[in-house]
Amino acid sequence: MIKKIPGETWKPLEFPGWKQLRKKYALSSMGRVASYSKDVATDGKLLNGSLTTGYKTLNLHRPGNNGTLYIHREIARLFLKKSTPKHKYVIHVNHRKVDNSSKNLKWATLKEMIDHQQKSPAKVAYKRVQANRTAGLKLTAAQVKSIKKTLSSNNRQLTIKKLADKYGVSEMTMYRIKSGENWSKV
């Protein structure tokens, strides 16, 4: 028997091949997963599932199908309405991948999902560390200043390929320096 949480609702989880399994499964609006035989409230058992790249998943052996179900996607499918067909992605509002309550999930477009990921505290911290990194770099700040000066010159003699070869880096690095994606602080 599952202990009730005030305001929690359960919905049966149906997917291709669900009728062929021994147990039935249900998801709650609070992000919980349960298996049951007759009724989730009377004979239900809470499941932890697994973690796949930080997301809670349920691995089921379904005949002729992939066994992994991402819990956050299934909860969004059951409890949240999509605004448009372009809203194909599910994001965690608070950036915590294991918090699958329906209040923390939101359907998003590709652009909204990418923008949301860039604001993640982990991503912001990573960018801060990378911006201040000094060890293990192929270029020095002085070299980057020289590269930027060369790239912005109107009568530049060197192609980007030759400039990349001169400094022992890839052409893509040169394009990223030119666009400001890399070394923007120099």
Q: Which parts of 38-139 fold into alpha helices (H)?
A: 40-43, 71-79, 110-118, 121-131
pTM above 0.75, yes or no: no
Which architecture does CATH list for 10-126? Alpha-Beta Complex (3.90)
Instruction: Using the structure block, give the residue that is written with the tokens 């291709």.
Output: 16
Contact 112, 92 (CB under 8 A): no
List the pLDDT tens digit at each of the 186 positions of the chain: 788 899 999 999 988 778 778 899 999 999 999 999 999 989 999 999 999 999 999 988 766 677 789 999 999 999 999 999 999 999 999 999 999 999 999 999 999 999 999 999 999 998 888 877 778 889 988 999 999 999 999 999 999 999 999 999 999 999 999 998 888 888
Query: What angle in degrees, to the nearest 10, is found between the helix axes of 171-179 and 141-152?
Result: 80
Contact 87, 108 (CB under 8 A): yes
Contact 104, 93 (CB under 8 A): yes
Q: What are the sequence ranges of the domains in the chain?
A: 10-126, 134-179
> In this structure, how many other beta carbons lie within 10 angstroms of the beta carbon of residue 21?
14
Instruction: Using the structure block, give the residue that is written with the tokens 């192929």.
Output: 138
